[in-house]
């Protein structure tokens, strides 16, 4: 079944929504699935079982769960019920019309530069030689990529960020730009558990899944089903229903976390091999390969980052861009490219990719990184008092002013925080905090015409 939303986006399987069965219904639902597979006539099923199944299908509202480790029966029930959601849109971008963001783990810039697979891919695109992550460890970087802030996070804990905190999903949905995540080994679309499998070697982990951290996403049945696995990626590729924004997380082996850059390089070369020859996939597509953080917490937090794909002009292939970028630059670039508003956080002042800046006329800042490490973050409510300091105060974003993307602040942020003063100078291209001293003394400037 297909339906269309107000933007004309196609919704597959619209009668299904992400739902969590009541705990007492799960065993009955699993029994129903088994009976169905065994071709047991419906009239032979117990009334109790049928009522439980109908109740499960009637639950249309998503429920954010605090259960870190759902039972095997609950997972099986959800796998049988939940249908991935793959909206399609065709919003023309200034420099690209599809963005695919693929993240790897914990490798220093210099180490990655020596890998033959990553260096070969760089020759097919643009090497970003001055791309910085925003802190350590992993999870706050993933959080930052979705919300433009770390909220003081200095850990890889279980987090559920309140629904009044907006994300890139709000930006995309505001303008009808389709989006999706593809998480390798995710057991079903919208799974909220801490890891999967729950025992044994690492495979899928929640800390590497940006949008699952936010209640504004998990409270929404439709948004949850846009967080999918690799099976859905290949299904969407085959049916030509890839979104205009994708965030791709390989499993803990393929992303180098539990292996090394050689393993990750071999994996990505294989993953992209056919995709780079696929006319549909490559059409006006910009692919970013980057790392969440460097591997050494005492050295600079700069990572090897590549842009490639059909949106990269031939004359730029094999070149290097030394503009200062951070993870926040990706949000700002997406906003500038698709004419989206800002979240009013560190994406507001972030430099935007030169490919996009050349189209919009924006002039990026020069940042003196001589004394920059970017290894810690500022105080916030998600701190464990490891490298930042806990405070119960959630930072307030900008609600007015000019951002690098040039399209103002998203409406939901302006409404939510109306009349409040921004906590930080979010118009800066480099995150800093005067009170804690985080990133203080880093100079930046630009020359306007």
Residues with active-site annotation: 258
Q: Residue 242 is encoded by which pair of tokens?
A: 């890839």
Q: Three-state secondary structure along the chain?
A: CEEECCCCCEEECCCCCCCCCCHHHHHHHHHHHHHHHCCCCHHHCCHHHHHHHHHHHHCCCCCCCCCCCCCHHHHHHHHHHCCCCCCCCCCCCCCCCEEEEEEECCCCHHHHHCCHHHHHHHCCCEEECCEECCCCCHHHHHHHHHHCCCCCCCCCCCCCECCCCCCHHHHHHHHCCCEEEEECCCCCCCCCCCEECCCCCCCEEHHHCCHHHEHHHHCCHHHHCCEECHHHHHHHHHCCCCCCEEEEECCCCCCCCCCCHHHHHHHHHHHHHHHCCCHHHHCCEEEEEEECCCCCCCCCCECCEEEECCCCCHHHCCEEECCCEEHHHHHHHHHHHHCCCECCCCCCCCCCCHHHHHHHCCCCCEECCCCCCCCCCCCECCCCCCCCCECCCCCCCCCCCCCCCCCCECHHHHHHCCCCCCCCCCCCCCCCECCCCECCCCCEECCCC
């Amino acid at each position: 079944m297909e339906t269309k939303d107000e933007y004309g986006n196609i919704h597959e399987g619209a009668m299904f929504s992400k739902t969590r069965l009541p705990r007492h219904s799960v065993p009955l639902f699993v029994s129903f699935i088994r009976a169905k597979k065994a071709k047991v006539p419906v009239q032979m099923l117990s009334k109790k079982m049928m009522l439980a199944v109908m109740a499960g299908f009637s639950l249309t509202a998503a429920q954010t769960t605090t259960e870190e480790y759902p039972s095997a029966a609950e997972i099986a029930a959800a796998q049988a019920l939940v249908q991935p959601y793959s909206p399609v849109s065709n919003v023309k971008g200034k420099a690209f019309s599809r963005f695919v963001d693929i993240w790897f783990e914990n490798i220093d810039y210099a180490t990655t530069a020596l890998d033959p697979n990553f260096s070969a891919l760089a020759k097919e695109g643009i090497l970003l030689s001055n791309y910085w992550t925003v802190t350590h460890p992993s999870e706050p970087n993933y959080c930052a990529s979705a919300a433009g802030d770390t909220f003081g996070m200095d850990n890889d804990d279980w987090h559920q960020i309140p629904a009044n905190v907006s994300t890139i999903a709000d930006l995309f949905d505001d303008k009808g730009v389709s989006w999706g995540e593809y998480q390798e080994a995710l057991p079903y679309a919208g799974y909220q558990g801490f890891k999967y499998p729950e025992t044994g070697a690492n495979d899928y982990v929640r800390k590497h899944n940006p949008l699952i951290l936010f209640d504004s996403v998990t409270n929404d049945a439709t948004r949850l089903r846009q967080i999918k696995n690799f099976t859905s990626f290949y299904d969407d590729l085959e049916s030509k229903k890839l979104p205009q924004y994708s965030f791709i997380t390989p499993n803990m082996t393929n992303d180098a976390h539990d292996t090394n850059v050689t393993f990750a390089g071999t994996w990505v070369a294989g993953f992209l091999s056919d995709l780079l020859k696929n006319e549909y996939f490559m059409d006006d597509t910009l692919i970013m390969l980057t790392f969440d953080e460097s591997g050494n917490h005492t050295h600079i937090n700069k990572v090897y980052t590549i842009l490639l794909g059909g949106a990269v002009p031939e004359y730029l292939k094999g070149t290097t861009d030394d503009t200062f970028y951070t993870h926040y630059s990706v949000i700002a670039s997406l906003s500038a490219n698709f004419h989206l508003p800002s979240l009013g956080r560190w994406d507001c002042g972030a430099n935007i990719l030169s490919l996009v800046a050349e189209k919009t006329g924006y002039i990026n800042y020069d940042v003196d990184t001589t004394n920059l490490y970017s290894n810690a973050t500022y105080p916030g409510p998600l701190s464990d008092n490891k490298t930042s300091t806990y405070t119960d105060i959630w930072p307030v974003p900008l609600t007015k002013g000019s951002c690098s993307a040039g399209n103002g602040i998203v409406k939901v942020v302006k409404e939510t925080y109306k009349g409040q003063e921004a906590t930080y100078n979010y118009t800066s291209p480099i995150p800093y905090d005067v009170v804690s001293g985080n990133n203080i003394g880093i100079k930046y400037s630009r020359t306007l015409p």
